[in-house]
């Protein structure tokens, strides 16, 4: 039976630990799981690893794999487990044992190496296939900055060398598309220590793209029957007590501030504000559904070790919306959300998606079973009515409601979680939301929470990498750059710029004294869709010599340039 990638990678992590112990006999072992694209193992080592060390470790791993060491398993009781790990001087493993607090613990052995592990593994190390160690990074033990920084070795493994080579090619391509590098090169955004980690400064070009995204988002929502809201960045502590955030989410909230002896918190979510707007008046069933949307900036504390450019930040803007509706409106509202979602994703160039339906958790959840059943059926029917293949994540819903998660595929085949459509039974109960039904009585509404792009920051980062900084013309911060040949043509270039700006074309002029060849290379490096050369010949003809990304387009007058860019 062919082993799974999980089994291969989990086994490879053990082989990595075995190789590390061969090089550093006193190494202390952390954890070594398989992950989506490979595996890693955390180590407490006597010195910092170098690239040469990785090469040596990879060579040792190849030797272990070639030996075909058999994986076997056995169990020990709590006392024997602690005795064994203490004898091996493995304090991190002992800490795991104490936290799990089980009666027995399983171990896996291959060759001389033994590790505390639940498995599963391949039959022998010869079944591991092709491996590659990728990099070393720092990782706090158990993700806490209060603990010691360990060295995390990342690697990957595949069934065949061909599969591994294809993955390494994708990694190289991803490195070329890294939004952090392109963000700096294209002057789109920055993150500066003086401001704070995880807090984004949007530069003019990046801010222009964001403005375009947000304008499109608003117009699409207005056309879909939504009302757009604006809510404060902070709220009184009693709001977060009612919502439950102070009980369940306080470690991710920014420290409280006191104003007039009242405690306030920066908002981690927009939901309670939307609920309070709904509660500002009593609605009838005739008023429903309410579709309330906001590009709301929220603040959440993320550990410094997980911050990553635009992808994982501490301050970000969610494209939030909440739909308050009656039970009989649920299914059609979900269908409309999916239609809007796929239309919007397609507009940005993402037409390959995967859909996941997450159902009620097995144990802890809020809301009665009838509501869960109705909601799960509505989500399922909406997906099937749209003709979408989907996978069910049984028990994977949030405690406050089932959900649909949508992952998009980018230009190099990576999947990104963006859109979420989920029910919330928690906030309507906590805030005692009601509407007046046909019987004149008060009823609890259904509330659908949805985000289509996820967050503007993260979505922008995905766009940068998807397009490798070469934004489509409608999204490009500069659509055409005019390149003047000599200072005597600058006035004419400025006049052309004025006329294009009047037609809402995003245009800049390079009036520097650099040679035209340099200006063209600079424009290409800036990923501008169109370059327009203006010299004396162009002045005489009243045209612009236009070059697109695919080559020269010849001389065009202003009206033709406007038409070209609008069609693009």
Which entry of 245, 274, 380, 449 is annotated as an active-site residue? 449
Report pLDDT digits (tens) over 113-150.
999 999 999 999 999 999 999 999 998 998 887 899 99
Report pLDDT digits (tens) over 157-207.
999 999 999 999 999 999 999 999 999 999 999 999 999 999 999 999 999
Cβ neighbourhood burial of 347 (10 Å; 0-12, 13-18, 19+) = middle
Dist. CA 397–CA 421, nearest whole Å: 11
Q: What is the mean pLDDT of residues 432-443?
A: 97
Q: What is the mean pLDDT of residues 474-489?
A: 96
Q: What is the mean pLDDT of residues 254-274?
A: 92
One domain for residues 284 and 432: yes
Cβ neighbourhood burial of 205 (10 Å; 0-12, 13-18, 19+) = buried
322 is catalytic: yes
Band the pLDDT of 282: cuts 50, 70, 90.
Answer: very high
Instruction: For residue 483, report the phi and psi dihedrals to the nearest 5 degrees.
Output: -115, 110
Tell me if residue 225 falls in helix, strand or coil: coil
* Selection from 185, 447, 162, 470 nearest residue 323 by Cα: 447
Q: What is the CATH number of the domain that holds 153?
A: 3.30.980.10
Buried b (16+ CB within 10 A) or exposed e, 101-140: eeeebebbbbeebbbbbeeebbeebebbbbbbbbebeebb
Dist. CA 526–CA 330, nearest whole Å: 47
Band the pLDDT of 247: cuts 50, 70, 90.
Answer: confident
Q: What's the pLDDT score for residue 304?
A: 79
Look-up: residue for tokens 């505390």?
116
Q: What's the pLDDT score for residue 36?
A: 86
200 φ/ψ sector (left φ>0, alpha ψ -120 to 50, else beta): beta
One domain for residues 245 and 377: no
490 touches 532 (CB < 8 A): no
One domain for residues 447 and 492: no
* Selection from 1, 29, 329, 338 nearest residue 153 by Cα: 29
Tell me if residue 56 falls in helix, strand or coil: helix
C-beta atoms surrounding 161 within 10 Å: 12
Q: What is the mean pLDDT of residues 210-228?
A: 98
Q: Which two tokens stand for residue 545?
A: 């010599």
380 touches 347 (CB < 8 A): no
Residue 521 is assigned to a structural domain of this protein:
yes
Answer whether residue 349 shows pLDDT above 90. Answer: yes
One domain for residues 33 and 123: yes
DSSP alpha helices (H): ranges in 348-393? 369-385
Residue 199 is assigned to a structural domain of this protein:
no
One domain for residues 355 and 415: yes
318 is catalytic: yes
Q: What's the pLDDT score for residue 143?
A: 81
Residue 191 is assigned to a structural domain of this protein:
no
Residue 179 is assigned to a structural domain of this protein:
no
The domain boundary residue, chosen from 467, 501, 521: 467
Band the pLDDT of 499: cuts 50, 70, 90.
Answer: very high
Which entry of 318, 422, 479, 497 is annotated as an active-site residue? 318
Residue 222 is assigned to a structural domain of this protein:
yes
441 is catalytic: no
Q: What is the mean pLDDT of residues 253-262?
A: 89
Band the pLDDT of 399: cuts 50, 70, 90.
Answer: confident
Dist. CA 26–CA 295, nearest whole Å: 52
Q: Which two tokens stand for residue 273?
A: 């504000």
Band the pLDDT of 31: cuts 50, 70, 90.
Answer: very high
Q: What is the CATH number of the domain that holds 341?
A: 3.30.930.10
One domain for residues 155 and 240: no
Q: What's the pLDDT score for residue 458?
A: 97
One domain for residues 294 and 149: no
Q: Which two tokens stand for residue 417?
A: 């979680």
Measured CA distances, 355 to 12, 178, 379, 398 (Å) = 31, 26, 11, 16
One domain for residues 61 and 151: yes
Measured CA distances, 33 to 17, 423, 467 (Å) = 11, 32, 32
Dist. CA 464–CA 45, nearest whole Å: 37
Dist. CA 8–CA 30, nearest whole Å: 19
Which entry of 403, 450, 481, 506 is annotated as an active-site residue? 403
Band the pLDDT of 249: cuts 50, 70, 90.
Answer: confident
Strands 201-202 and 28-29: unpaired
Residue 45 is assigned to a structural domain of this protein:
yes
Q: How many helical (H) and strand (E) elements, i.e. helices and strands, does the chain have? A: 18, 29
According to DSSP, residue 305 is labeled G
Answer whether residue 16 shows pLDDT above 90. Answer: yes
Q: What's the pLDDT score for residue 339?
A: 95
Report pLDDT digits (tens) over 72-114.
999 999 999 999 999 999 999 999 999 999 999 999 999 999 9
165 is catalytic: no
Q: What's the pLDDT score for residue 251?
A: 85
Q: What is the average pLDDT score of the chain?
A: 94
User: Based on C-alpha coordinates, what's the Rg of the chain?
Assistant: 28
One domain for residues 521 and 434: no
Q: What is the mean pLDDT of residues 508-515?
A: 95
Residue numbers of the domain that contains 347: 213-229+279-467
Dist. CA 174–CA 168, nearest whole Å: 10
Strand order in the sheet with 507-510: 507-510, 480-484, 530-534, 544-548, 551-556
Counting the structural domains of the chain, the total is 4
Which entry of 123, 203, 276, 300 is annotated as an active-site residue? 300
The domain boundary residue, chosen from 432, 467, 502: 467
Residue 358 CA from chain centroid, whole number: 19
* Selection from 69, 61, 47, 77 nearest residue 15 by Cα: 61
Residue 440 is assigned to a structural domain of this protein:
yes
Q: What's the pLDDT score for residue 427?
A: 92
121 is catalytic: no
Q: What's the pLDDT score for residue 366?
A: 80
Answer whether residue 40 shows pLDDT above 90. Answer: yes
One domain for residues 298 and 410: yes
In sequence order, what are the beta bridge partners of 257? Answer: 264
403 is catalytic: yes
Q: Which two tokens stand for residue 473?
A: 């013309």
Dist. CA 373–CA 172, nearest whole Å: 46
Report pLDDT digits (tens) over 365-381.
887 888 888 889 989 99
Residues belonging to the chain = 568
Q: What's the pLDDT score for residue 559?
A: 97
Which entry of 42, 84, 121, 271 is annotated as an active-site residue? 271
One domain for residues 494 and 553: yes
364 is catalytic: no
Q: What is the mean pLDDT of residues 456-468?
A: 97
Band the pLDDT of 433: cuts 50, 70, 90.
Answer: very high
* Selection from 42, 49, 251 nearest residue 147 by Cα: 42
Look-up: residue for tokens 């994977």?
396
Which entry of 320, 405, 410, 424 is annotated as an active-site residue? 320
Q: What is the mean pLDDT of residues 482-499?
A: 95
The packing angle between helices 204-223 and 456-467, to 10°, is: 110
One domain for residues 220 and 139: no
pTM: 0.86
Which entry of 14, 60, 84, 322 is annotated as an active-site residue? 322
Kindly give, in sequence order, each residue whose CB lies less than 8 Å from that of residue 362, ignoring residues fewer than 6 positions away. 395
Residue 181 is assigned to a structural domain of this protein:
no
Q: What is the mean pLDDT of residues 464-481?
A: 98
Kindly give, in sequence order, each residue whose CB lies less than 8 Å from that of residue 251, ignoring residues fewer than 6 positions away. 301
Write out the E strands in 6-70.
Answer: 28-29, 34-35, 38-44
């Amino acid at each position: 039976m062919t082993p799974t990638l999980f089994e291969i990678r989990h086994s490879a992590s053990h082989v990595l630990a075995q190789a590390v112990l061969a090089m550093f006999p006193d190494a202390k072992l952390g954890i070594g799981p398989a992950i989506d694209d490979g595996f890693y193992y955390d180590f407490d080592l006597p010195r910092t690893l170098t690239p040469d060390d990785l090469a040596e470790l990879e060579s040792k791993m190849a030797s272990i794999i070639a030996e075909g060491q058999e994986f076997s398993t056995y169990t020990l009781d709590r006392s024997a487990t602690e005795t064994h790990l203490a004898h091996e001087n493995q304090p991190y493993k002992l800490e795991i044992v104490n936290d799990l607090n089980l009666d027995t613990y399983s171990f896996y052995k291959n060759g001389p190496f033994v590790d505390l592990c639940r498995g599963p593994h391949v039959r022998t190390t010869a079944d591991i296939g092709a491996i590659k160690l990728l990099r070393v990074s720092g990782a706090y033990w158990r993700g806490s900055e209060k603990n010691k920084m360990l060295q995390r070795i990342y690697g990957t493994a595949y069934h065949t060398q061909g599969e591994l080579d294809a993955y390494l090619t994708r990694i190289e391509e991803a490195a070329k598309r890294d939004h952090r590098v392109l963000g700096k090169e294209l002057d789109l955004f920055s993150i500066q220590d003086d401001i704070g980690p995880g807090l984004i400064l949007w530069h003019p070009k990046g801010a222009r793209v964001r403005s375009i995204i947000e304008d499109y988002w608003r117009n699409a929502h207005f056309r879909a029957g939504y009302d757009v809201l604006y809510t404060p960045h902070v709220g009184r502590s009693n709001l977060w007590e009612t919502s439950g955030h102070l009980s369940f989410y306080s470690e991710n909230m920014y420290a409280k501030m006191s104003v007039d002896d009242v405690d306030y918190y920066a908002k981690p979510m927009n939901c309670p504000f939307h609920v309070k707007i709904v509660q500002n008046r009593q609605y009838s069933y005739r008023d429903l559904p309410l579709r309330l949307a906001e590009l709301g900036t929220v603040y959440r504390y993320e550990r410094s070790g997980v911050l990553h450019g635009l992808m994982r930040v501490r301050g970000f803007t969610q494209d939030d919306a909440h739909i308050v509706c009656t039970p009989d409106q649920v299914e059609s509202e979900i269908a409309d959300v999916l239609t809007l979602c796929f239309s919007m994703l397609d507009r940005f160039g993402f037409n390959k998606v995967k859909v996941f339906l997450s159902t009620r958790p097995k144990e802890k959840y809020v809301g009665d079973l009838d509501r869960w059943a109705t909601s799960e059926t509505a989500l399922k029917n909406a997906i099937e009515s749209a003709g979408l293949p989907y996978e069910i994540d049984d028990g994977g819903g949030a405690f406050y409601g089932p959900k649909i998660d949508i992952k998009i595929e980018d230009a190099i085949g990576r999947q990104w979680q963006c859109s979420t459509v989920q029910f919330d039974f928690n906030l309507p109960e906590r805030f005692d939301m009601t509407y007046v039904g046909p019987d004149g009585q008060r009823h609890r509404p259904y509330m659908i929470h949805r985000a289509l792009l996820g967050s503007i920051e993260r979505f922008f980062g995905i766009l940068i990498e998807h397009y490798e900084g070469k934004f489509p013309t409608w999204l490009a911060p500069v659509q055409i750059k005019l390149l003047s040949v000599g200072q005597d043509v600058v006035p004419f270039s400025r006049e052309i710029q004025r006329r294009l700006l009047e037609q809402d074309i995003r245009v800049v002029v390079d009036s520097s004294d650099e040679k035209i060849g340099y200006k063209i290379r600079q424009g290409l490096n800036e990923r501008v869709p169109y370059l327009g050369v203006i010299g004396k010949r162009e002045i005489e003809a009243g045209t612009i010599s236009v070059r697109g990304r695919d080559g020269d387009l010849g001389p065009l007058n202003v009206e033709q340039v406007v038409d070209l860019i609008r069609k693009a």
